[in-house]
Each structure stands twice: as structure tokens, then as C-alpha cells.
Structure 1
Amino acid sequence: MRSELSRSSLLEKYIVSNELILKTMQENITDIKNQIADIKLTNERSHSAMQVKMESLESDLNKLKISSKSAPITLENELILGEQIIQEIQQRKNREKNIVLVGLPEQIASTPEDRLSKD
């Protein structure tokens, strides 16, 4: 009988031990499921944030492309204006030692070339 009691006692200890192990495993599995859910949520948020950032960058890129197409025209206009200013300065330099005669009518011309040819 004693051996049966010890077997019964061992069996009960084994069952209790297995139940504890099973309970611990279930708690661990629940924790892991919660962690996975948190990771998925964080991943979705990061993905959404990156998508918004990417759309913003694409929009900025398109704006830069549009502005770069119009920039050469502006640059050409600035170059032409700069050349005109340089020509005007050179013409002033050429005329700085001219004599001014009072009482003579001055030539009226719209362009520097016309003025120069009539002088």
C-alpha cells in the first residue's frame, strides 16, 4: 500500500508540476501575443508616418522640378539685363570726356546704337 501511496503522491506532484508549467507557458504565450500586437501597431504607425513623409518629399521634388524648368528663363533674362548694364556703363565711359555745348538740341533716340550713330 505504501508503494501505491507514494505512486499516487508522485503522480499528484507530477500533475501539479505540469499544471504549473502549463500555466506559466500560457502566461508567456499571452505576453508574446501582446508584444506581437504592440509591434504590429508600432510598425503600422511607422509605415503610415513614412508614407506621409514620402508623399511630402515627392511633392517637394515635383515643385523643384517645376521651378527648375522656369529657372533657366529667369537666368537668361538676368544675363541679358547684366549685359545691357555693362554696355550702358561702357557707353558712359566712352562719353565721359565729351564736350557739352549749350544751346544745341540733343539727339533724341530710344536705343544707345541710334544715339551713337546720330552723334
Structure 2
Amino acid sequence: MLGHCSSLAVLTVLLHLLIPATPIKCYSCRSCVAVTDNTNTDECEVCETIRGKIAGVISKTVRQCNNSCVASVQENLFNFEERSCCRSHLCNDDFKSKAASRLLMAIMTVLLQWIRLG
């Protein structure tokens, strides 16, 4: 019984970590220089967020400002990459807060399972 419940707890934690977060958002380009040609911030109109997984495990998120952006999704056997574009300086950078809340929820789930078993 104990082995089954601990497996359930591990599965619950994994599900919390694997559930997709809110749609990708990008951050403000108001005070950012374009990475492509180091132009002035006034010419920088597009927030670009690139989210991906390498070898299906290691995730990465890159945020940068550019003069242009094309939204796309590329996927093959080992890599996944999603590019999101936002043409406003009012975009929110809420990745860190979402990740922190998901981690806290996963920890609380494990603690509740542990208390219930104890």
C-alpha cells in the first residue's frame, strides 16, 4: 500500500510540472535594444519569446527584442521550439511567478500525500 501511495505522489508531482502553463507571453521592449542590429529602442517593436525543450528534457526560455518576428513551432524527435511574438510594450513577464507557484503547488501536494500516509 505504501509503495502505491508514494508512486501516486510522484505521479502527481510530475503532472503538476508537466501541465502546460499559460500561453507564452513576452516582456516589455520599451527599454530594450534590438539583438539583431543593436538599434535604438524606438525602432524595437517586437517582443520575442522562444520556448523549447532539448532532448525532450532540458527546457529553455529566451526573451529578446527585435525589429521583426515570425511566430512558429518547430518539432522533431529530439527538440521542440515555439516562437511567440508580441507587438506591444505592455506585455507581461510573468514566467517566474507562474513557475514559482507551480513548484509550490507540487511541493504542497507531496507534503499532503506524506502527511496523509504518516
- Aligning the two structures, in what range does the TM-score lie when normalised by the shorter sequence? under 0.3
Q: What TM-score, normalized to structure 2?
A: 0.26
Larger relative contact order (CA 8 Å, sep ≥ 6)? 2
Name whichever structure is richer in helix by fraction. 1
Normalised to the residue count of structure 1, the TM-score between the two structures is 0.26
Query: Higher strand share goes to which structure?
Result: 2
The higher radius of gyration belongs to 1
